[in-house]
Amino acid sequence: DTGVSQDPRHKITKRGQNVTFRCDPISEHNRLYWYRQTLGQGPEFLTYFQNEAQLEKSRLLSDRFSAERPKGSFSTLEIQRTEQGDSAMYLCASSLGFGGGAWREQFFGPGTRLTVL
Amino acid sequence: AQTVTQSQPEMSVQEAETVTLSCTYDTSESDYYLFWYKQPPSRQMILVIRQEAYKQQNATENRFSVNFQKAAKSFSLKISDSQLGDAAMYFCAYRSDDWTDSGNTPLVFGKGTRLSVIA
C-alpha cells in the first residue's frame, strides 16, 4: 500500500500528558498537511510543509502544538500538556507541490483519533 | 478569509434514486478550485469530484456531477442511481488558486452532510 499512513490510529491520554503523532506521506509527495477534525465538523487546517520547510501555521496551532518534517519525508505532530479540547481526529494529507496554479490532489491518511481524559 | 457552508447536516436517499447535496461558499478571489470529498465511516477521506472556477462546464464523474453557479457562489453535488456504498459524510471544500504559490494551498472545508442510503 503506497497511500498516506498515520500512526497511531487511536491514542487515549490523560490531561497534561504529551503526545506525538506520525504521518508518512506518499513517497514522491513534497507537500504535507495537518488538519484537525472535531466531532460534527469538517477538517480544519493546522499547518503544512513543502519538503522540510513549514510554510504556514494556522491560528489554531497554539504554542502547545509543534510539527516537524526533518528530512522532508515523514512528519510528526506533538501536543504538549494536552487538554480535553484537544480531543479530535488529526488528519494528515500529502500532495505534489508544483508550478503556480497547477492542481494536485491532496491524498488523506486514515487519521489519528485522540481522546484526552 | 474564505468560508464554506453546508446547510444540510443530514440527508437520506432511496437506493437507485438521485440526491443533491448543497454547498455555498464565500470568497473575494476569482480563481479557485472546489471539491467534494467523501468520508465513509472509519475510513479515510477520498476525492469525489473537483471543479475549476474558470471552467463554465460542470464537472462529471460517472454517477457524480456538480452544479457550479459562480455568480451565486453555489456548488451542489448530485449523486445519481444512489448505491449503499455512497453512504458517508460528504464535505465540500475550497482551495485558492494562487499563481504565486508553488503548489497546493490548504483546503477550507464545510461542516459536512451525512448521507444515508436506504435499501
Q: What digits encode the pLDDT tens for the residues B63-117?
A: 999 999 999 999 999 999 999 999 999 999 999 876 555 456 889 999 999 999 9
What's the alpha-carbon Rg for chain B, to the nearest Å?
14
As a whole number, mean pLDDT of residues A35-55 equals 93
List residues bridging with A47 in a β-sheet: A34, A57
- Residues in chain B within 8 Å Cβ distance of A42: 4, 6, 91, 93, 109-112
Q: What is the DSSP letter of B72?
A: T
Instruction: Chain A: give the shortest CA distance to residue B69, in Å.
Output: 21
Q: Give yes or no for a contact between B51 and B33, defined as CB atoms under 8 angstroms apart.
A: yes
Residue with the larger pLDDT of the pair B34 and A104: B34
Query: What is the spatial distance between Cα A7 and Cα A2, in angstroms, rounded to a whole number?
Result: 15
Q: What angle do CA B92, B108, B100 make, to 5 degrees?
A: 125
Instruction: State residue B15's pLDDT score.
Output: 97
In one-letter notation, the amino acid at residue A12 is I
The dihedral region occupied by A77, where left means phi > 0, alpha psi between -120 and 50, and beta the remainder, is beta
Instruction: State residue B16's pLDDT score.
Output: 97
Instruction: State residue A98's pLDDT score.
Output: 60
The enclosing H or E element of A93 equals strand A88-95
Beta carbons of A98 and B101 less than 8 Å apart: no
pLDDT at B49 over 70: yes
Nearest to A31 among B43, B104, B109 (CB): B104
pLDDT at B118 over 80: yes
Instruction: Chain B: give the shortest CA distance to residue A92, in Å.
Output: 10
Does A6 contact chain B (CB < 8 Å)?
no
Instruction: State residue A40's pLDDT score.
Output: 86
